[in-house]
Structure 1
Amino acid sequence: MRGRILVVDDDAAIREVVRLNLEAEGYDVTSAENVERARTAFSAEHFEMAILDVMLPDGDGFELARALRENSDLPIMMLSARDTDVDKAVGLGVGADDYLTKPFSPLELVARVKAHLRRYAASAPARAHEGLIHVGPVSVDVARRTVLVRGAEVELTATEFDILRMLAEQPGRVYTKAQIYEHVWGEEAFGDLSTVQVHVRRLRTKIEEHPDEPTLVTTVWGIGYRLEEGR
């Protein structure tokens, strides 16, 4: 999957059109029909982007955008039949990155989504430097030394955190046990490096849904470990 996107709209037909077009491009889409379900989904998963209707049955899409922005730097696109400059200014003012007026072209929506996600991916090194790293369902707050997995905080030891941070800073890259040992322990690696394997195993018990069949921190046999992208 190329990224996980939250789509919030009370119109089932619009949700379906958006979902089908985004999934055709390889995106993983979670749909919600109101603010309550959107908040539940957002707290349970990590998303790379949110597409929000302005008029929702149990709340205001603008306020939902404001709430999401307080907890994430993901791109936010507003959808609305209201096309006045005032509405657009309000949407952008609460933290949205884009405003698309209904009815819209699915091709235009997909093109805008791709553009936002390209910029979001390109800014990942800067965000990591600022102290926040997002990789799939894993969020690492470097400054606070905290980790969220699928929206839930996970308690890690200092060593487990340092290993995960190292892997998260370059997702998809394979690190050898020696590289991990030298980076985390600050000593030259030699001899038996099974201590790295033990800590990785413990880390998996805390962040993986099925530690014996890991999908986040995976083993590249004969080489080392990597944190998978977009799992």
Structure 2
Amino acid sequence: MTVAPMVAILDDEPQVRQLLSEVLSDAGFRTATFARAAEFEAALERTAPDACLVDLGLPDRDGLALVHRLALESGAAIIIISGRAQVQDRVTGLELGADDYIIKPFDPVEVVARVRARLRGGRESVAQGASNTAQFAGWTAQLDRFALIAPDGPEIPISQAEAEVLRLFLESPKRLISRTQMQETLGGTAGDSFDRAMDVRISRLRTKLGEDPRNPRLIKTIYGAGYIFLGDVTWS
């Protein structure tokens, strides 16, 4: 029997925790709720959620610092749910590793749709028996483990969202990938918010691959058209 995905909910507002838990449970997810970062982090030692919904206004921990730690150490999809509506807050959250950003007050139906969209890519790849290990330019990408192995040996964690973007590039090397193709493949709503999220994820990938941001060797920006991955790729 297939086990339902687990969603961890971290928010200090009881009404928000209850609402999210109920709507996600009704949609077929398992849920675990936490009011404080300390208990949430303790639970991560015992279980690995598929997705984490994280409020930034926590009483015992800086929410952005927690998001950054999750991005570095967890393969879970990370979705910020926050009352901070400024563009810079959203950009910072994405740059630190979040996969999505939802502003309070929110529509519960939209939260369910965002969680499903974030989990769909990885689960569909596994269900279809897709290869998850690829070699390129001396690097090894282990997409099921959300990890990059550098040519000189060190392992570098990547987030689920970064793994989804990297898989898209690795499956279509030396071909132009337009913004529209990215939106159709990865999900999300076309527009400035989606474009910014893609820019941030690609920037993070370039950094982890040791790319010169002014003259990247592997992930090239074709201005006004999209991106192209220039490496030779071998799947195993």
Name the TM-score, length of structure 2 as normaliser: 0.54
Determine the C-alpha separation between the residues in 2 that align with 1:55 and 1:36: 14
Q: Contact conserved, 1:74 with 1:120, CA < 8 A, in 2? A: no
Could you say which residue in structure 1 is the equivalent of 2:197?
none
Q: Deviations over 1:158-189 (max 9, x none)?
A: xxxxxxxxxxxxxxxxxxxxxxxxxxxxxxxx
Determine the C-alpha separation between the residues in 2 that align with 1:75 and 1:88: 16
**Residue 132 (structure 1) shift:** 6.5
Which of 107-116 and 65-74 deviates more? 65-74
Could you say which residue in structure 2 is the equivalent of 1:108?
110
SS at match of 2:45: helix
Could you say which residue in structure 2 is the equivalent of 1:19?
21
Determine the C-alpha separation between the residues in 1 that align with 2:51 and 2:133: 17
Could you say which residue in structure 2 is the equivalent of 1:94?
96
Larger Rg: 1
Structure 1: gaps (5+ residues): 145-231
The one of 16, 36, 39 aligned to 1:37: 39
**Residue 45 (structure 1) shift:** 0.2
Q: Contact conserved, 1:18 with 1:106, CA < 8 A, in 2? A: yes
Percent identity between the two aligned chains? 29
Give runs of ≥4 in structure 1 deviating > 6 Å.
none
Aligned residue pair count: 140
Determine the C-alpha separation between the residues in 2 that align with 1:116 and 1:36: 25
Determine the C-alpha separation between the residues in 2 that align with 1:51 and 1:18: 9
Structure 2: gaps (5+ residues): 135-140, 147-152, 154-236
**Residue 123 (structure 1) shift:** 4.7
Determine the C-alpha separation between the residues in 2 that align with 1:40 and 1:108: 29
Distance change >3 Å, CA 42–CA 123, structure 1 → 2? farther
Could you say which residue in structure 1 is the equivalent of 2:57?
55
Determine the C-alpha separation between the residues in 2 that align with 1:38 and 1:75: 15
Q: Contact conserved, 1:10 with 1:57, CA < 8 A, in 2? A: yes
SS at match of 1:40: helix
